[in-house]
Amino acid sequence: MGVGKGSLAADKVVEEIRRKGGKAVANYDSVEAGEKVVKTALDAFGRIDIIQRVHLRGSFLVTRAAWDHMKKQKFGRIIMTSSASGIYGNFGQANYCAAKLGLLGLSNCLAVEGEKSNIHCNTIAPTAGSRLTQNILPDDLLEALKPDYVAPLVLWLCHESCEENVRWERTLGAIVRQRTQPMTPEAVKANWTKICDFDNATKPQRIQESIGGIIEALNKIDSDGGISANHTSSATSTATSGFAGAIGHKLPPFSSSYTELDTIMYALGVGASIKEPKDLKFIYEGSSDFSCLPTFGVILAQKSIMGGGLAEIPGLSVNLAKVLHGEQYLELYKPLPRAGKLKCEAVVADVLDKGSGLIILMDVYSYSGEELICYNQFSIFVVGSGGFGGKRTSDKA
């Protein structure tokens, strides 16, 4: 996950590889030019062995350009990156979900077609902290889910001795992280039989359930001495008493500034395209009717909740590593400014007992100056904190 503009992210990765004695070359072409991307590898190394892609069109174009070369050399390892959003669906992400699960279909076909040429294709669906989530997830959860813990799996799947190819099914998996030690491809290889044991697998129905399993694994790592997040003193187990003091509690007001570039990057991230004339007003600041996508109001409001106040609600001691984003409601009163500063005021509307966890209904009001711009209600699920005999439904939802 690079950080920067233009070629800086690619150059940084190349520099890191070379500094450790490896060989690397950067390519600055768009994935739309798959042939150019592949040509860079061929010119530098004389062959192309591995493709690791994250989205549907880029995966198709780059793989198509490399396919004949891999068939000719009788070797190839292709890794597609899907997402839990594609597998289970997620609110407000129809285009993203479709593209992410489309990668699985592409991967399945390539695995079948490439098998006779020793081309293996697999799909991963990691939950990882990245630039897309760095302003949404709490810092301790970002640390626990950093991409460093995904890379060893990818490295093993790319290795010439790995014969894994295509099977699509969930397993219980295995924990291969150890405290104070880096996670390695060798650890993945050593536990591969257990990782691929399809007995007693869980079958989540929603994305929140799938993430809940990850949170449970992180807690096990924590209790067993593995690597996990650096919890703050306020991030302790959730209490199951004193909820009356929580309802009506107001979080500290939170102000967030954003630029036109922020709104453009958000629009691109949810699927706006220069190929769609109707999208130009969201991604080109020079457009006469340039505006901010209404759903950007959710991002700004979420920042106010994840800014730290959630862990300080009286009567609740919330472990942020066990928090999941459930349902979402957004109501607009005015168009979002194309850039500016919004003040968000959050209040606990209700607390519900869902058995396996509790739900906090959080109302967030966002203002530009004194003018109310939008209202959000977040349904926040706290894993493992239910069963306290509270009500299951609310007239405030």
The 10 Å Cβ neighbour count of residue 325 is 20
- Please tell me whether residues 117 and 136 are part of one structural domain: no
Asked if 188 and 68 sit in the same domain, the reply is no
Any idea which residues carry the catalytic annotation?
96
We report the CATH number of the domain holding residue 347 as 3.10.129.10
pLDDT score of 31: 86
pLDDT at 178: 65
CA nearest to 297, candidates 249, 348, 337: 337
Do residues 13 and 95 both lie within one domain?
yes
Ordered per-residue pLDDT tens for the chain, 397 residues: 344 446 888 899 999 999 999 999 999 988 889 999 999 999 999 999 999 888 899 999 999 999 999 999 999 999 999 988 899 988 778 999 999 999 999 999 999 999 999 999 999 998 877 766 666 566 667 777 888 889 999 999 999 999 998 777 788 888 887 655 678 899 899 989 888 888 888 888 888 777 777 777 776 666 554 333 333 323 333 333 456 678 888 888 889 899 999 999 999 999 999 889 999 999 999 999 999 999 999 998 988 887 667 777 877 767 777 788 888 999 999 999 999 999 999 999 999 888 777 889 999 999 999 999 999 999 988 887 777 777 888 888 8
Query: Within this chain, do residues 194 and 305 fall inside the same structural domain, yes or no?
Result: no
* 229 contact partners, CB below 8 Å, separation of at least 6: 140, 141, 143, 144, 218, 222, 321
Residue listed under structure tokens 């768009």: 30
Same domain membership, residue 329 and residue 306: yes
Do both 305 and 353 map to the same domain? yes
Contact 283, 272 (CB under 8 A): yes
Helix, strand, coil % (nearest 5) of the chain? 40, 20, 45
Is residue 29 domain-resident?
A: yes
Domains in the chain: how many in total? 3
Q: Are residues 103 and 138 in the same domain?
A: no
The closest alpha carbon to 316, from 248, 391, 368, 378, belongs to 248
**Residue 186 covered by a domain:** yes
Residue-number span of the structural domain to which 209 is assigned: 128-230
Query: Domain check: are 163 and 109 in the same one?
Result: no
Q: What is the pLDDT of residue 137?
A: 63
Q: Say if residue 189 is in the same domain as residue 250.
A: no
Residue that terminates a domain, selected from 79, 105, 125: 125
Whether 60 and 154 share a structural domain: no
In a domain, residue 282? The reply is no
In 3D space, the residue among 270, 267, 256 whose CA is nearest the CA of residue 300 turns out to be 256
Paired residues of 367 in beta bridges: 343, 372
